[in-house]
């Protein structure tokens, strides 16, 4: 249903209740009794951030509201931290990765030479040839 308030058009979406049949039964003084009634299944209200006269507030399930607040705070913090960061392109990333691999290999080779393990030294030198 379309409504207007102070010149602003909006859609009204009232909550709908879907009744389900429910039966209660039991025994009283040897006789069985049954009672049928409709049980309404309520729908939870959607979680939303609203603003009234410049003041933000939230509606909905308290756990979902808490999650929404933390997610918003986390995204604001993350975006503020990335403002001054320099982003590397693919070639620079690959070069940095290769440099780190070479440095790691050199330290492993140095440790193998100190230990005197000839088999490990041979394997690490073969690995260095593959990287080069």
63-111 pLDDT, tens per residue? 888 888 888 877 777 665 565 556 667 778 888 888 899 899 999 999 9
Does residue 124 belong to any structural domain of this protein?
A: yes
Q: Hey, what's the torsion of the CAs at 58, 59, 65, 71, to 10 degrees?
A: -50
Q: Are residues 103 and 77 in the same domain?
A: no
Domain carrying residue 94? 90-131
Does residue 33 belong to any structural domain of this protein?
A: no
Q: Are residues 77 and 94 in the same domain?
A: no
Structure tokens at 69: 């607040």
Structure tokens at 100: 């780190």
pLDDT at 5: 85
For 58, the 3-state DSSP assignment is strand
In the predicted structure, residue 38 carries a pLDDT above the cut 70: no
Does residue 18 belong to any structural domain of this protein?
A: no
Does residue 34 belong to any structural domain of this protein?
A: no
Q: Are residues 102 and 78 in the same domain?
A: no
Q: Are residues 75 and 95 in the same domain?
A: no
Q: Are residues 74 and 102 in the same domain?
A: no
pLDDT at 8: 85
* pTM of this structure: 0.35
The span from the CA of 65 to the CA of 49, in Å, is 8
| Long-range pairs of 36-42 with CB within 8 A, sequence gap ≥ 24 | 41/17, 42/15, 42/17
The span from the CA of 51 to the CA of 57, in Å, is 6
Domain count, the chain: 2
């Amino acid at each position: 249903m379309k409504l207007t308030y102070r010149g602003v058009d909006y859609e009204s979406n009232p909550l709908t209740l879907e009744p389900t049949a429910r039966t209660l039964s039991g025994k009283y003084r040897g006789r069985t009794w049954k009672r049928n009634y409709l049980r309404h299944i309520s729908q939870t209200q959607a979680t939303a951030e609203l603003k009234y006269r410049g003041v933000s507030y939230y509606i909905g399930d308290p756990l979902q509201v808490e999650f929404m607040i933390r997610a918003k705070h986390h995204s604001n913090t993350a975006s503020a931290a990335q403002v001054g960061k320099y982003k590397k392109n693919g070639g620079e990333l690959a070069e940095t990765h290769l440099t780190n691999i070479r440095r790691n290999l050199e330290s492993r080779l140095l440790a193998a030479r100190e230990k005197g393990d000839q088999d490990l030294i041979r394997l690490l030198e073969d690995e260095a040839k593959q990287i080069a």
